[in-house]
Amino acid sequence: MTVCTGNICRSPMAEVVLRDRFTRAGLDGAVLVDSTGISGEEHGNPIDPRAQQVLRSRGYDVPAHRARQVSAVDVVERDLVLAMTATHAHALRRLARGDDAITQRIRMFRSFDPDAPVEGPEHLLDVDDPWYGDDAGFEVTIAEVEAAADGIVAHVREVLDRR
């Protein structure tokens, strides 16, 4: 599960990209990918039109989507929870209520990008928030998402192979 603020830009973009990559890797039947937001402010809204545009321009199919807020149950039920920012990761860890096994499943999305910083504060791995900017911000976001996607697929494949 990918998680951002409102579930209308970053996390659904990541969901679409990951679904595509898992399908290409032959894992689409073995892996469920979804997305949520920390906030309920966008509940029920579709993917932001600018996010839809950048996804389509890169050749992705844009599914029907309705934003929803993450719950503690979501965090418990997922094998991997991918936070778009350090703030999102912190909120997700609070939902885990101190359960170390669950907390270990919460990872920064960009931690799977081989070119992302490996040392320093967690916020250095934040996926840029395109909401307040122009269309160029959505290009930055999709590039960050795509850069980490193959690493996530490799990680999931490794986990599945161990089972």
Q: Which CATH number fits domain 2-162: 1.10.3720.10, 3.40.50.300, 3.40.50.970, 3.40.50.2300?
A: 3.40.50.2300
pTM of the model: 0.96
Which has more pLDDT, 163 or 2? 2
Given 9, 10, 20, 128, the catalytic residue = 10
Asked whether the predicted pLDDT for residue 163 surpasses 90, the reply is no
Catalytic annotation present for 129: yes
Dihedral angle computed from the Cα positions of residues 41, 70, 29 and 27, in that order, rounded to the nearest 10 degrees: 90
pLDDT at 63 over 90: yes
pLDDT attached to residue 55: 98
Indicate the average pLDDT of the chain: 97
Question: In this predicted model, what pLDDT tens digit does every residue of 80-110 receive, in sequence order?
Answer: 999 999 999 999 999 999 899 999 999 999 9
Return the exposure string of 43-67: e unless at least 16 CB atoms fall within 10 Å of the residue's CB, then b.
eeebbbebbbebbeebebebeebeb
Identify the active-site residue in 4, 9, 19, 128.
Answer: 4
**pLDDT (mean) for 108-124:** 95
Catalytic-labelled residue, pool 28, 99, 129, 150: 129
pLDDT, tens only, 23-62: 999 999 999 999 999 999 999 999 999 999 999 999 999 9
Q: Which residues contact 133 (CB under 8 A, 6 or more apart)?
A: none
Over the stretch 71-83, which tens digit does the pLDDT of each residue have?
A: 999 999 999 999 9
Q: Is 126 an active-site residue?
A: no
Q: Which of 100, 160, 117, 142 shows the shortest CA–CA distance to 10?
A: 142
The pLDDT of 101-126, averaged and rounded, is 96
